[in-house]
Amino acid sequence: MNTNVGPSAIEQHSANALNILRKQDLPPDPANYHVFFEYASGTSPAMNRILDIYLSNKRHLDTATVQSLFETYVAPKFKDANATATDELDQIVSRTMSVIQETESNAKELAGGAAGVAQALGKTGTGNLEISAVIEKLGTLARNAVARAQAAEGELKSTKAETQLIKERFEAANKAALTDGLTEIPNRKNFDQTLRRLAAEAMETGASLSMAMVDIDHFKKFNDTYGHPLGDNVIKLVAHQLSDGSRPEDFVARYGGEEFSLLMANVSGADATDLVDRIRQSIAKKVLKKRDTGEEIGSITVSCGVTTYSFGETLESFVERADASLYRAKQSGRNRVVFGEVVVAQ
């Protein structure tokens, strides 16, 4: 939270948050309250942009959407996944402040010494020996100040390097948290965040947003027959085919297990269906072989469900409709694409 906000402002933000919760018919539980307190205080511009789109269109927010906003934008402020790096960063900040304070102290000492020298030189009757002594004192002060300044400069350079390392570690940790370890494509958490962002942009611009859910056919049987290592290779192959076959601006993620998702902004349902079907066909052409013997063990097929975002629906409903289309593809024979109720046969 913003610690610079005064008590009266905090009370106002709290009142505004509770007022929005009442209007949205949401329970004032901790997650909901914190999201709208942050919204009222304006401390999370990215989150506010998404909420503004929802609220300006007079949409009622569902609990799942608010919870997702909480996990993405608010929760990280209360608990950092990389506590060690945070502690190290705190130490660097403290050390940097100490260097700055010491530098200020050195400057004051030098200034005080110079003032004393000037005062001594200004006295009438000051002899040559006394002048030499005060000049020598000034020289000593100056040399000490230079040495301390050089030491401070070295310390700050070292601190800058350490800070950069920690920054890189934070970025790497964040990337790892949003990437599937097996396929190296975005994971479910990344999908949830991206879906929320793209849906908000679609509402804001009126552009279409299409989604495909893709599932590997008979994967369990295949995995049980040939083993998990080969099963992992199948998952990686499908992930790569989805990535290679989609547009650069599309978003491919591993949704979970043998299921994948594909988000396509500014693409109509018909064009999305055609794109996904081309990917399905390219996957079906791949022939699997055992690495040790070269024996062919068949091809991979996938079933796909496609749908487009309907303005005003919840994201949960959007995903459920894509899943329902995927289910119809499975029920109608697999290895095909279904858009809504329409089956695209192999």
Positions annotated as catalytic residues are 258
Contact 224, 267 (CB under 8 A): no
Backbone φ, ψ for residue 261 (5° rounding): -130, 150
Q: What is the DSSP string of 266-308?
A: T--HHHHHHHHHHHHHHHHT-EEE-TTT--EEEE--EEEEEEE
Q: Which residue has the tokens 């200034």?
A: 111
- Report the distance separating Cα 69 and Cα 31, nearest Å: 9
Sequence-distant contacts of 134-139: CB under 8 A, at least 24 apart: 137/113, 138/113, 138/114
Answer whether 299's CB lies under 8 Å from 251's CB: no
Distance in angstroms (rounded) separating the CA atoms of residues 304 and 327: 8
254 forms beta bridges with 260
Tell me the two tokens of residue 238: 């499908």
Q: Which has the closest alpha carbon to 219: 288, 322, 321?
A: 288
To the nearest 10°, report the CA torsion of 109, 113, 114, 117: 180
**Rounded distance, CA 126 to CA 112, Å?**
20
Beta-strand runs (E) in the chain: 209-216, 251-256, 259-265, 287-289, 296-299, 302-308, 337-339, 342-344
Distance CA 272, CA 265 (A): 10
In the numeric block, which tokens belong to residue 326? 């995927």
